[in-house]
Amino acid sequence: MKTRKTNWGRWGDSDERGTLNLLTPELVLAALRLPKTGKTYSLSIPIQRSGVPNLEYRGTPQRLTLTNHDDEAMARANGGAPGVGANEDQLILPSHTSTHLDALCHAYADDKIYNGYPADQMTPYSGAAKCSIDKVGGIVGRGVLVDVAASKGVDRLEPGYVITPADLQEALDQQEVALQPGDLVLIRTGWLEAFMAGRVDIMPQPGIGLEAAAFLAEKDPAIIGSDNSAIESIPFDQHVYLGGHIILLVEHGIHLLENMNLAELAADRCFDFLLSIGALKITGATASPVTPVAIG
């Protein structure tokens, strides 16, 4: 599946970062001038066994406490005093857990990932040979909230609702905000808030359709995020499996931020802001849990 335009080769045949290349020092410096209140917003949700949208096939994240040491013996052996010790954890979790950033190697079509690299260069132990999450680096830029739910006067879009280009443009017009190349675009459906309050099931989910994905890709964003589990709607628009992922990740090299907590930004009507994202440098990984931080 190919749209009329792709970003393959745009930043060279060896590129593995896609539209993150748009985040030039000039754009980052401009984004630093955006904050007006200094209020910070954590845009992630907890990593835990239940109460968050864990997908069963990925496995449940586990945080285990390490208790296999004797505080008094450790203290004696290391010159310390009894009663002094340390607590530690072991984490076992899918890379696509809670709020996470998809790497460009995550999805493929016609046996190719972004920039035409073969999709079969993924091995059990080494992971992805190209376009893995460790290629991302630090991400800082202008964040833009597109509150589709609020533009329609509802708390949340209906499960399975397919967001159109007209829906996105209507929200932007109401907010009096225009998208610019290199923006970090965050789409609010209201679904995640409803799910975590126990008002809706994990499936189906509202999200962008194929036409909206193409519309956004034409705007040249550095990243697209949403408060759902796939950015696109589930069931998939027009029954095209991973159609939005193919347009955005594969064809245009746009990293995706999923399961974002956008409630507080929306409540404050904070529509453009400084946004910082740091992914874990997991060699060869297809994604990383993240805690994006916005400053309004």
112-141 per-position pLDDT tens digit? 999 999 999 999 999 999 999 999 999 999
Q: How high does pLDDT run on average in the chain? A: 95
Confidence band, pLDDT 50/70/90 cuts, at residue 3? very low
Contact 225, 256 (CB under 8 A): yes
Cα(166)–Cα(159) distance, integer angstroms: 19
Contact 241, 106 (CB under 8 A): no
Cα(33)–Cα(29) distance, integer angstroms: 7
Q: Which residues contact 114 (CB under 8 A, 6 or more apart)?
A: 7, 8, 16, 18, 104, 105, 131, 249, 250, 251, 253
Mean pLDDT of 6-26: 98
Mean pLDDT of 159-175: 98
Percent of the chain at pLDDT > 70 equals: 96
Please tell me the predicted confidence (pLDDT) of residue 38: 98
Exposure letters 118-130 (e unless 16+ CB within 10 A, then b) = ebeebeeeebbbb
- The CA-atom distances, in angstroms, between 239 and each of 86, 149, 210, 236, 261 are 52, 23, 10, 5, 27
Mean pLDDT of 59-73: 80
Closest CA to 179 of 21, 22, 11: 22
Contact 163, 206 (CB under 8 A): yes
Domains of the chain and CATH, by start: 18-54+94-295 (3.50.30.50), 60-92 (no CATH)
Joined together, the tokens standing for residue 134 give: 């460790």
Please tell me the predicted confidence (pLDDT) of residue 223: 98
In the numeric block, the tokens 């340390």 are attached to 86
